[in-house]
Structure 1
Amino acid sequence: MKNVKSRVLAGTALTGALALALTACGSDAVKQDETPDATGSATAPESSESAAAGSIAGAGASSQEKAMGGWIATLASVAPDLTVTYEAVGSGGGREQFLSGGVQFAGTDAPLKEEELTAAADRCYGGEALELPLYISPIAVVYNLPGVDAEHINMSGELIAKIFNGDIKNWNDPAIAAENEGVELPDLAIIPVNRSDESGTTENFTEYLAAASNGAWTHEASGDWPISGTQSGNGTSGLIDTVTGAEGAIGYADASRAGDLGTVALKVGESYVPFSAEAAAKVVDASPRAADATDKRLVVELDRTTTEAGAYPLVLISYSVACSVYETSEDATNVKAFLNYVASTEGQTVASAADVAGSAPISDALRTEVVAAINSITSK
């Protein structure tokens, strides 16, 4: 898997791409002698952030990989002496490495499970795990149909479930044609492709299918694909490679990785909505917090069956997981500095740039809660 280092990613190609994103920040850009406050504005730094130096490591969700590259490459604006690495091993692998003490933070597309929250008390020296929704992105249903002349193929949740169940096997099936009047669909076998590794993207996708398919999806939401004998790919890159390499294939991935593949417009109410950062943000803002959320665990219960106009309910919230208590003051200082940058207006603008990850920036109200949780981090 990729091991992304700030010194490497600051190279010419990525720097050129990120320059456009940072220019868009305008007066909101954070100078080196400043740090973002709860609204993302620049203020005088706290001593802990100005002292950030050394290195920290993270691991986890491959959905965050592009955004992490952008955050790491531009981190010097607030912490020039801090080096951050991130290994995109998947959500499950990231949680395992974090709980074993192998990394200081993790990225996960699914909240921590009950047993993981219990394990976090030991890993965090009697403290607890923070779960911060810092990466919000639509999940694209991607397909490889180069001969189809349509901006998007329309699909309801029920139709998608039947395709991934194997109940609908051909692209010119009458059920697909009924939702795509005027589109010439090929007489071509459908090849559903899923993730082979435990994946938060899979958990979000199957959660959507369970909620929005009118009972067509009979499996529980899970990070492990529930059907055996399927075509699959390891990680986001592996799935995209598999879909790209097989005409007729269909899969699901963080929208930042859709590339030149076709993408599905989801049925919401009586309309079909293609993915966008704005459509993803609408769902997050309209969704309640999870029943067990706290002021440090800002977990959102996504409304997958919304009928709100312009909303895209197949959304992934990828959480940054950290400890409320670290063994050393150096780790506490460095994690706070990095996560405060990620949460800042500048950090969220970097990630939302179309040539980086195209994610949806968090709202000012959510940023206030996130920064309060980050600033509670301490050492034993």
Structure 2
Amino acid sequence: MKIVSYAAALGLAVASCSLAVSAAEITGAGATFPFPIYARWAEAYNKETSNRLNYQSIGSSGGIRQIRAKTVDFGATDAPLKAAELEKDGLVQFPVVMGGVVAVYNVQGVPAGQMKLTGEVLADIFNGKISKWNDAKIAQLNQGAALPDAAITPVYRSDGSGTTSVFTTYLAQVSEGWKSGPGVGASVQWPVGQGGKGNEGVAALVQQVPNSIGYVEYAYAKQNSIPFTQLQNKNGKFVSPEAKTFQAAAASADWKSAPGFGISLTNQPGDEAWPITAPTFILVHKAPEKPEQVAEALKFFDWTFEKGDQMAAELDYVALPAQVKDLVRASWKADIKDKSGQPLFKK
């Protein structure tokens, strides 16, 4: 299972240079959504530079708590912080890579990728309003499919999660019942179902529980061969998650429109747009207590911008457009300073 192998690789990246006196060690924590690509990048970066990344995949809420507590060099979140939060905590926020959140299912007799759902039906499932797989609304979308007369078990994130924030943002955009009910957040009151910790936990539960449905980052679904649904997008087209549909969702995004690049890519227009596309973000302090550590973190992310695109594609993430990378680098120079007021990013 690739997720396990990449986790192991990250551990090796940390351990392999324990004797290298001059090697830098960067610490980060947060979102599970990008963990597979962070692990892959960490392994390659360690081989090239001997520097190591120690990243804790603990969920976006945990990453935000740790960067606020100044216990890590960077925090990672899939739910971008608002301008007021960034200002209050003295943080700079920037995107690193994009991916998609997908609905995964375990329904015998329905082949992978053949299940079709609308956003409203998906919201009704997680709201407990649709409780059986052969419900008329699901059957109407999947004519000819052998849908069982079986109870649906929704699976959700039990921890504070940027993936949950992205998913519930989408559900609130397409369903008034969801918007006025559970609502949007990194953690919400789920009406029905079972909880799993992290993308890993949700993926494992869906694989184990017959007739279940959950939501995970696309790489977790693909690498673990978990069937995922098609979704109807804003233009009324049923699409499958893949690089071109994530890119279509980001095609018209205005990255300058929100402080800290905190834009949403959910429910974007376009015939090919995947409706639950999202960037993932990094948080660092504007005036860090350990500037040399944050400088090393910025070197790592600059390296990923230069050399990490193919690795991202191999793990089914989508690299940022070149012009967005340039905007991010400019923000590093303008906003992240050492104790003398000089930019930490020197390039």
Say whether 1:274 aligns with 2:240: yes
After TM superposition, the score normalised by the length of structure 1 is: 0.79
- Within 5 Å, which residues of 2 pair with 1:37-186? 53-76=23-46, 80-113=49-82, 116-121=85-90, 129-149=91-111, 151-186=113-148
Closer/same/farther in 2, CA of residues 156 and 228 from structure 1, 3 Å limit: closer
C-alpha separation in 1, matches of 2:8 and 2:31: 13
Structure 1 counterpart SS, 2:329: helix
Structure 2 residue aligned with 1:264, among 220, 229, 233? 229
1:117-143 Cα shifts (integer Å, max 9, x gaps): 24422xxxxxxx221111211101000
Aligned-residue identity in percent = 28
Aligned to 2:310: 349
Closer/same/farther in 2, CA of residues 235 and 149 from structure 1, 3 Å limit: closer
Say whether 1:8 aligns with 2:12: yes
C-alpha separation in 2, matches of 1:197 and 1:306: 27
1:86-112 Cα shifts (integer Å, max 9, x gaps): 000100001100110100001100012
Closer/same/farther in 2, CA of residues 58 and 10 from structure 1, 3 Å limit: closer
Q: Decide whether the 8 Å contact of 2:255 with 2:261 is kept in 1.
A: yes
- Within 5 Å, which residues of 2 pair with 1:249-260? 249-258=212-221, 259-260=224-225
Aligned to 2:329: 371
C-alpha separation in 1, matches of 2:75 and 2:291: 19
C-alpha separation in 1, matches of 2:46 and 2:132: 51
Q: 1:278, CA displacement in angstroms?
A: 1.7
Q: Decide whether the 8 Å contact of 2:206 with 2:214 is kept in 1.
A: yes
Say whether 1:321 aligns with 2:280: no
Aligned to 2:343: none
Q: 1:201, CA displacement in angstroms?
A: 0.5
What is the RMSD computed on CA atoms of the aligned residues? 2.4
Closer/same/farther in 2, CA of residues 332 and 4 from structure 1, 3 Å limit: farther
C-alpha separation in 1, matches of 2:115 and 2:295: 48
Closer/same/farther in 2, CA of residues 5 and 56 from structure 1, 3 Å limit: farther
Q: Decide whether the 8 Å contact of 1:5 with 1:85 is kept in 2.
A: no
Say whether 1:361 aligns with 2:319: yes
Q: 1:333, CA displacement in angstroms?
A: 2.6
Q: 1:299, CA displacement in angstroms?
A: 1.8
Q: 1:81, CA displacement in angstroms?
A: 3.8
Q: Decide whether the 8 Å contact of 1:4 with 1:85 is kept in 2.
A: no
Say whether 1:199 aligns with 2:161: yes
Q: 1:182, CA displacement in angstroms?
A: 1.9
Closer/same/farther in 2, CA of residues 11 and 179 from structure 1, 3 Å limit: farther
Q: 1:329, CA displacement in angstroms?
A: 4.2
